[in-house]
Structure 1
Amino acid sequence: MFSPSPAETKAGALAVEPYLQGAVPSGRFDAQGEIRPVTAQRSVSQYTLIKYGLTDRLSIYSLPTFSYGWGKGQSSTGVKFNDLPIELHYNILTARPARYRPSVTAYLGFIAPTRNYSGLSQSQNGVGQGVWFLRFGFQSQSVYRLMGHAARLRIWAVGRRPLTTAHLHDITSYGTSTGFSGTAHPGTFGNEGASFEYGLTKRWVMSLDLYGTWVGSTELTGKYRKTSQLVHTRSSWSGSYNLGPAMEYNWSPAMGFIGGVIVPFTGHNASRAIMPEVAVNMVF
């Protein structure tokens, strides 16, 4: 569910995969990795993976995302459009299953900011960071025969590095309140992991993702206009490790359904939420 996929192997191929993901807060990992109670809204996100093969090796990818939050004594956020990622995926090495040779795909792109980060009516409306990010990374996958069934292994590592600085005023997604004026420089963030898929039958597939996420320090600088209170803070690094078991059913080689849940099992300085997820995969 979470692992990135390789570039399309045929020019003109179009992959569309709409997801629906919930998030049920279940505490927060403190600096020592202990789970502490926290008050946070529930949320649901709808995002659609879109990938188009420009050539037999090069694809363009995007992931438009909408989110909605509610509950915990706070007003709902309304439907918000999140920051928009766009990438190029290039197959450096094409897989050859008969020889057990893996494919290797390189990623390079950016995240475009939206306006949902500053000048907000309430802090929970902030779903963006107001910064352009460089996206980069790689993915490799291999296909094997295991006990007479098809098995696929994926490994990946990706990063997102900020290229600009966010200019803030009043209530923002960085935790400031009315009267604030300043800037924020978010930290580099990313994830890495492995996923394993095992074909139980020609239609049913069992999968498991195991991955870690990490976020670097965010620097916040500015002041509150009325009080002239100066602000200069730097957050701590954070991270978590997650399990994502899922089951997939394929109606045909070009269409399938997947459902599962992502569960953070350890971490530090990071929120913890159970995330059920369903998606439909279509290739044209």
Structure 2
Amino acid sequence: MPGLAQEIVALPATVERQKLDDAWWTGPMMANSAATLPRGHALIETYVYDRINATSHGFGSLTYLLYGITDGVTLGVKPSFGFNAVKNGRDGSGVGFGDLTFSAQLRLTSFDAAKSIPAIAVSLQHSLPTGKHDRLGDRPGDGLGSGAHTTTLSLYAQHYFWLPNGRIFRARLNVSNAFSSKATLNDVSVYGTGDGFRGHAMPGGSFTIGLSGEYSLTRSWVLALDLIRNHEGPTRVAGFDIRDLADPLPVRYRSNVSTTFAIAPGVEYSWKANLGILFAARFIPKGRHNSASITPAVAINYVY
């Protein structure tokens, strides 16, 4: 909508327009940036969160480690850790390693205020099944991985708007599609299988679209909001219950298609242009095939 963008950017002469370098950001909770890092620069951002639902607390951490190979290409790795506290069962045995994700982001365009051109980038991510997902015994809470290789292709866009009061409003759009390989399963697993099961799971693909907005209150303070819609296809599980080796029983089932909506308000504070903290929470209401959850999170963002 270039016409609308130009109308927003074009301010009355009496309004002092906030400069881009006078607005410091950490980024919202969910939406990724379309901007790539300058060559030789790095970003470290660590999230600590608690996913709360009716049956458990899923404590976890996720760290973005990104590096600018060139001005237009950023490579990264995202290690994750977690611990599950179960309300009506045994907690996880301790903090465990989750699936490990590698990423590559290619810049297609840079933001240009004069021409009202947003920053646009494509991203390719691949998650390795490093987290524990089966042979969980009497501690299903130890399950922190998917057991599958997952590839995600994303398109990111980011644009800056100057509001009538001269303050900057930053908007992001993320569109992602993910698909996974089969996961081999033995005994108790994150897919709901029990002791004696031998088989596999085929996770359903997912399509996610997210919008975010950030309003620069002052140079250091920012209000943020994410809106997310996620659609997941059915996961199929197939195999045998071999507890009776003479007569193994076939096991076959599939999950329901699930569509979830989430909202994630947040507040950002930056001590410096390259160092800030985010306080946010993601709210997912109960749906036809999903439970309600609340996920408060804190993140530290540092660029050098």
Query: Shared fold by TM > 0.5?
Result: yes
Match of 1:253 in 2: 273
Q: Would you say 1:67 and 2:85 are equivalent positions?
A: no
From 86, 90, 100, the equivalent of 1:84 is: 100
Residue pair 1:7, 1:90 contacting (<8 A) in 2 also:
no
Output the CA distance in 1 between the equivalents of 2:260 and 2:178: 17
Residue pair 1:243, 1:265 contacting (<8 A) in 2 also:
no
Q: How does 1:199-278 map to 2 (within 5 A)?
A: 199-227=216-244, 228-265=248-285, 267-278=287-298
Residue pair 1:244, 1:263 contacting (<8 A) in 2 also:
yes
Match of 1:36 in 2: none
Structure 1 vs Structure 2 CA RMSD: 1.4
2:172 match: secondary structure: strand
Residue pair 1:170, 1:179 contacting (<8 A) in 2 also:
yes
Q: Would you say 1:141 and 2:161 are equivalent positions?
A: no
1:180-229, Cα deviation, whole Å (9 max, x unpaired): 11111111124211000000111110011011122211111111112422
Larger CA Rg, structure 1 vs 2: 2
Structure 1: give runs of 5+ residues left out of the alignment: 27-39
Structure 2: give runs of 5+ residues left out of the alignment: 1-28
Identity %: 28
Offset at residue 130 of structure 1 (A): 1.1
Output the CA distance in 1 between the equivalents of 2:259 and 2:150: 19
1:183 match: secondary structure: strand
Offset at residue 275 of structure 1 (A): 0.7
Output the CA distance in 1 between the equivalents of 2:160 and 2:251: 53
Quick check: which one's strand share is greater?
Answer: 1
Structure 1 residues 225 and 110, CA, compared in 2 at 3 Å: closer, same or farther?
same
Output the CA distance in 2 between the equivalents of 1:271 and 1:67: 20
TM-score by length of 1: 0.91
Q: Would you say 1:116 and 2:132 are equivalent positions?
A: yes
Offset at residue 93 of structure 1 (A): 0.9
Structure 1 residues 11 and 184, CA, compared in 2 at 3 Å: closer, same or farther?
same
Structure 1 residues 225 and 266, CA, compared in 2 at 3 Å: closer, same or farther?
closer
Offset at residue 268 of structure 1 (A): 3.0
Q: Point out the more displaced range, 71-80 or 241-250.
A: 71-80
Output the CA distance in 2 between the equivalents of 1:190 and 1:181: 29
Match of 2:60 in 1: 45
Offset at residue 266 of structure 1 (A): 5.5
Output the CA distance in 2 between the equivalents of 1:89 and 1:267: 33
Q: Would you say 1:14 and 2:42 are equivalent positions?
A: yes
Q: Would you say 1:177 and 2:205 are equivalent positions?
A: no
Offset at residue 271 of structure 1 (A): 2.5
1:124 match: secondary structure: helix
- Aligned residues, how many? 270
Structure 1 residues 141 and 216, CA, compared in 2 at 3 Å: closer, same or farther?
same
1:127-174, Cα deviation, whole Å (9 max, x unpaired): 211111111011100011112101101011112111x31111111111
2:63 match: secondary structure: strand
Offset at residue 57 of structure 1 (A): 0.4
Offset at residue 118 of structure 1 (A): 1.5
2:177 is aligned with what amino acid? G
Q: How does 1:129-168 map to 2 (within 5 A)?
A: 129-146=146-163, 147-162=165-180, 164-168=181-185
1:2 match: secondary structure: coil
Output the CA distance in 1 between the equivalents of 2:126 and 2:74: 15
2:185 is aligned with what amino acid? L
Offset at residue 70 of structure 1 (A): 1.0
2:271 match: secondary structure: strand
TM-score by length of 2: 0.85
1:45 match: secondary structure: strand
Q: Point out the more displaced range, 252-261 or 226-235.
A: 226-235
